[in-house]
Amino acid sequence: MCLARDADPDSCKCTIFAAYARECALEGRVIDWRANDTCPMECSNGRVWQECGPTCAQTCRQISEQQPCTEECAEGCNCPKGESWDEESGTCVAVEECPCYYRGNLYKAGETRRNKCQLCTCKNGVFSCAEDKQCDEQSLCTGGKVWSSCVECERSCLNMHVECKPSSCKEGCACPNGTVTEGGKCVPEDQCPCYHEGRSYKSGQVIKKDCNRCRCLGSTWQCTNKKCPAICSAYGDPHYETFDKRHFEFHGSCSYVLAEDFCSDQVGTFKVSVENVPCGTGGVTCTKSVKVTLYDTVIHLIRGSDPAISRNPYAKPSDPPAKYRIQKAGLFLIVKTPYGMSLMWDVGTRVYVKLEPKYMGQVCGLCGNYDGNAMNDFLTRQGELEQRAKNFADSWRVFMTCPAAEDELEHPCDHRPERLQWANHACSVVKSSMFQPCHAVADPEPFFEKCVFDACGCDRGGDCECFCTAVAAYTRECNEKGVAIRWRQNGRCAMQCENGKEYKACGTSCPKTCYNLYASEQCSTSCVEGCHCPNGTVQHDGKCITPVQCPCVYNGKELMPGEVVIADCQRCTCESGKLACTGESCAVETTTTPYPETTAVPTTGVTVSTRPEPEYTSPLPECEFGKTPSACAPACPKVCHMLQADCVEPEGCKSGCVCHQGKVLDSTGNCVDPLDCSCKDDGGEIRRPGESWQKTQCETCTCFDNQISCAMASCADVTCQEVS
C-alpha cells in the first residue's frame, strides 16, 4: 500500500504505527506514541486523544440512562478522566455537573423530581431517591386527582377540545379518565364552562358576539347564525379598512367616494364621499369633510361648522323624501337612516360607515364591495380589479380634475427623523399596561405603527391631534370588543367637558333628550367615548338637565314645566317632558309628537341647522322610525315572548304600520330584534334576554331569541327521607 505512486509516505507511516499501537493496547500495553512532530491528532471542546479510550459512560446521557454496555478499547477524542460529554452545552463537564434524563425530560444537577412520596435528586448524572417523611400518599393528590407515572398532557376545560401531541411525560397528579381540571379540581367533561376571550361562562349563560347571541351548552357555544352589519373606517393619514377588513393607505388631495350603492348602473339609495386635504409637508393628507347623499337630500358635515342640509340637484322626481336623523353623542356626529346605513364622524379625521347585510355585494367605492372577500376589494369605478391602492383610489375621485394620488411616499419618520423618538414614546401607550385588558381582543401593533406614522407625518401644527386620533381609533376598537379604557388624562389628550357634561370612555351612542325621553329605541351602535350627560340627566339645547326640567310640546308650541293647557276638555300639566292630563276627554284621543330639534328644511340653497343636536330633518313620515306602512297590517303582529297571547286574526285587514322584516313589537310598541326580547316564565316572572334560571333542581331555562328553552343538567342524586 505504501508503494503506491500517489501514496503519502507520512500518512502511510502513521497508519502502520496506529495499527501496531492498537495491537499492543489489546494486550494491555497502552503506548502514548503520538507527539507534536509524530502523527499528531487534534481534539476540540476540551477533549483529548486516547489510544485506548472507554466506550461506555462517555456522555452524561449514557450515565443517566444506565443502559447495559460492554467496555471496549477504542482510539479517539474523549473527555479527560473524571469528566463526561454534555450534549446540552457541547463541552466536557465534571461528572458532578451532568444533568439527568427521565422520560424525555431533562433535570439539571441538583434538581429534584417526585415519585409519589420519594424525592429524587439528580446527582452525578443519576437520580438518588429518598423518602419524604412529611408526605402522605393518601393526601398527595387533591381535588379528585390521582397519581400517574406519566402525565403527558394535563387536560383542562380550556384545552380539552385541542388535540394533544405529547413529546414527553412527567410523574404527577392528574385527573382520572373522563374528567378534566377546572379551578384546581377534576370535573366531568360535560360540566365544563365555556370560554370566550379569556373569561369562563357556566352552562346556560348567554353572550353577545357581534350581532349574534351564543349560549353555553355542555362546554361548547351554540350561536345564532345571523349575518352581521359591517363597518368601513378611515382615520388619520387616512388609514382605510374596508367592509371586508382589507387595510390600505394612499395619499391624495381630492374628494373620493367612500361608499355608495349606485354601482354598475343600478339605482341606489345613498352615497358617502370624503374630502382629503394636505396635513403634512411630506404629502400626508387627512379628511376634512364628509358628504352624505340620501335620495333628494345632501348632508354636508364640515369641520368647524354645523351640518349643512341642501337639496340633491341630481335627484329624480320619483325619489322619495329622505328620512334620516342626526345626533351628537360623545365625540361623534351620528347620521342614522332607516335604510340600513349609518355614519359616525368625530368632526375631525375619523369616519365610520356601517351597513346592514342587505347591502352585501351591492356597494362600491373605497370601502370595497362588502362580499366577504377582501382580495377583490380594489374594484375600480370601471369594474376592473387593481393591485395598487393608488390606482384604485384614483378611480374613485369625485372630480377627475383633481391631481392623481402621490406615488409611494417616504415614511414620515424618515422625512422628519427628529420626530421619531417622540412618536415612538407617545404611541407606545397602546401597548402599555393601561390597555392590557384590550390586548387579548384587539392587537395593538397595527394601531401603534399607524400612530407613529401619523405622529411623524402631521407636522403642520396638528401633531398632537393626529396622535390623539390614532390612540382614539384603538380605543374605539376596544369599545367594539366590549373593553372600555379610560386613557385620557392631563398632559395626554385630555378633554374638557362643558355644560354639565362629563367624560366617559364608554358612553351611550343614543343619548336621551327631552324629545326622546320616553322612546325605547334599540341602540345599534357600540358605546362611544367623549363628553356625555351624567346619569339621571338628559340633553336639551346642548346642556344637561334633569327630566323634571324638560319642556313639553303641544300643537307645535313648547310648554315650560308646570305650565297648564286645556286639551280635549282635559286639564293637562307639563311634567317631566310630557303632558299629565286629568278629567274626561271630550274628543277622539290624539297623540302629541315631539317636534324635530332642527328647523332646517332642504331648499335650493344651503341651510345650516340652528340646533347643535338635530333629530329628524325631513318631514315626519307616515310611520314612525323603524316601521313601514302596509296596506294590510295584521291585527295579531309578531310580538316579544312576554306579550304573546291567544289572538285570532279577523276577516279582512286594515292599513297600518308594521315592523321591518325580522323585527317584533316590544311592550312599548317599538320594533326590536327578537334577540332583545324579554320572556315571561311559567310563573309569570319577566326574564331579561339572555337570562338563565333554575326551573327545577336538574333543569335550567334560558330566555334566548324570543323563546324559552330548557335543558336538563347533571345534578347530584336526591335523597328523600321517608315521612311517617
Concatenating the DSSP letter of every residue in 701-713 gives EEEETTEEEEEE-
Distances (CA, A) of 221 to 201, 206, 495, 630, 713: 10, 9, 41, 39, 16
pLDDT tens digits, residue range 644-685?
887 877 776 677 788 877 788 887 777 887 877 888 888 888
The total of other beta-carbon atoms located within 10 Å of residue 307's CB is: 23
Is the per-residue pLDDT at 721 higher than 60? no
Beta bridge partners of 248: 240
Q: How far apart are the C-alpha atoms of 649 and 128, rounded to whole Å? A: 87
Is the per-residue pLDDT at 4 higher than 60? no
Q: How far apart are the C-alpha atoms of 336 and 327, rounded to whole Å? A: 8
Per-residue confidence (pLDDT) for residue 589, from 0 to 100: 44
Q: What is the DSSP letter of 379?
A: B
Strand extents, DSSP E, 476-577: 502-507, 528-532, 538-540, 543-545, 552-554, 557-559, 564-567, 570-575
What rounded mean pLDDT belongs to the chain?
Answer: 82
Per-residue confidence (pLDDT) for residue 6, from 0 to 100: 58
DSSP assignment of 207-223: EEETTEEEEEETTEEEE
Q: How far apart are the C-alpha atoms of 121 and 110, rounded to whole Å? A: 6
Is the per-residue pLDDT at 183 higher than 90? no
Strand extents, DSSP E, 598-640: 607-608, 627-633
pLDDT band at 608 (very low <50, low <70, confident <90, very high): very low
Mean pLDDT value across residues 74-78: 84
Strand extents, DSSP E, 583-712: 607-608, 627-633, 654-659, 664-665, 671-672, 679-680, 686-687, 692-696, 699-704, 707-712
Nearest to 253 by CA among 374, 118, 406, 97: 406
Mean pLDDT value across residues 313-321: 88
Mapped onto helix, strand or coil, the DSSP state of residue 179 is strand
Q: Is 689 exposed, middle or buried (0-12, 13-18, 19+ CB in 10 A)?
A: buried
Per-residue confidence (pLDDT) for residue 285, from 0 to 100: 65
Phi, psi of 468 (to 5 degrees): -65, -40
Per-residue confidence (pLDDT) for residue 613, from 0 to 100: 37
Per-residue confidence (pLDDT) for residue 611, from 0 to 100: 34
Check residues 121 and 42 and name the one with the higher pLDDT. 121
The length of the chain, given as a count of residues: 724
pLDDT tens digits, residue range 359-378?
999 999 999 999 999 999 99
Mean pLDDT value across residues 7-31: 74
pLDDT tens digits, residue range 122-164?
999 999 998 888 887 777 888 888 888 787 777 788 777 667 7
Beta bridge partners of 615: none
What single-letter amino acid sits at 459? D
Q: How far apart are the C-alpha atoms of 395 and 480, rounded to whole Å? A: 31
Q: How far apart are the C-alpha atoms of 677 and 663, rounded to whole Å? A: 10
Distances (CA, A) of 621 to 572, 617, 626: 27, 11, 11
Look at 126-140, 161-175, 215-229, 443-457 and tell me which has the smallest mean pLDDT. Answer: 161-175
The total of other beta-carbon atoms located within 10 Å of residue 66's CB is: 10
Q: How far apart are the C-alpha atoms of 195 and 187, rounded to whole Å? A: 16
pLDDT tens digits, residue range 537-546?
999 988 999 9
Q: How far apart are the C-alpha atoms of 272 and 354, rounded to whole Å? A: 11
Buried b / exposed e along 367-389 (16+ C-beta atoms within 10 A): bbbbeeeeeebbbeeeeeebeeb
Look at 96-110, 211-225, 422-436 and tell me which has the smallest mean pLDDT. Answer: 211-225
Is the per-residue pLDDT at 592 higher than 60? no
At 195, which helix (H) or strand (E)?
Answer: strand 194-196
pTM: 0.61
SS3 of 289-343? EEEEEECCEEEEEECCCCCEEEECCCCCCCCCCCCCEEEEECCEEEEECCCCEEE
Per-residue confidence (pLDDT) for residue 131, from 0 to 100: 87
Is the per-residue pLDDT at 496 higher than 50? yes
pLDDT band at 463 (very low <50, low <70, confident <90, very high): low
Mutual angle of helices 445-457 and 463-480, in 10-degree steps: 160
Is the per-residue pLDDT at 452 higher than 70? yes
SS3 content of the chain, % helix, strand, coil (to 5): 15, 35, 50
Q: How far apart are the C-alpha atoms of 501 and 134, rounded to whole Å? A: 64
| Angle at the Cα of 167 from the Cα atoms of 126 and 91, rounded to 5 degrees | 45
Nearest to 323 by CA among 292, 356, 297, 343: 297
Distances (CA, A) of 532 to 48, 496, 503, 539, 651: 80, 11, 6, 9, 50
End-to-end CA distance of the chain: 111
Per-residue confidence (pLDDT) for residue 216, from 0 to 100: 85
Residues 6 or more apart whose Cβ sits within 8 Å of residue 254: 275, 276, 397, 398, 399, 402, 403, 405
Mean pLDDT value across residues 76-96: 89
Check residues 299 and 303 and name the one with the higher pLDDT. 299
pLDDT band at 521 (very low <50, low <70, confident <90, very high): low
Mean pLDDT value across residues 676-704: 82
- Residue 672 cell numbers, joined: 326590536
Report percent pLDDT > 70 for the chain: 86
In the block, residue with C-alpha cell 376596544: 478
Under a CB-based contact definition with an 8 Å cutoff, are residues 148 and 169 in contact?
no
pLDDT band at 2 (very low <50, low <70, confident <90, very high): low
Cα dihedral 532, 534, 539, 541 sign: negative
Beta bridge partners of 217: 220
pLDDT tens digits, residue range 243-272?
999 999 888 889 999 999 999 888 899 999
Is the per-residue pLDDT at 445 higher than 80? yes
Per-residue confidence (pLDDT) for residue 549, from 0 to 100: 93
Per-residue confidence (pLDDT) for residue 676, from 0 to 100: 79
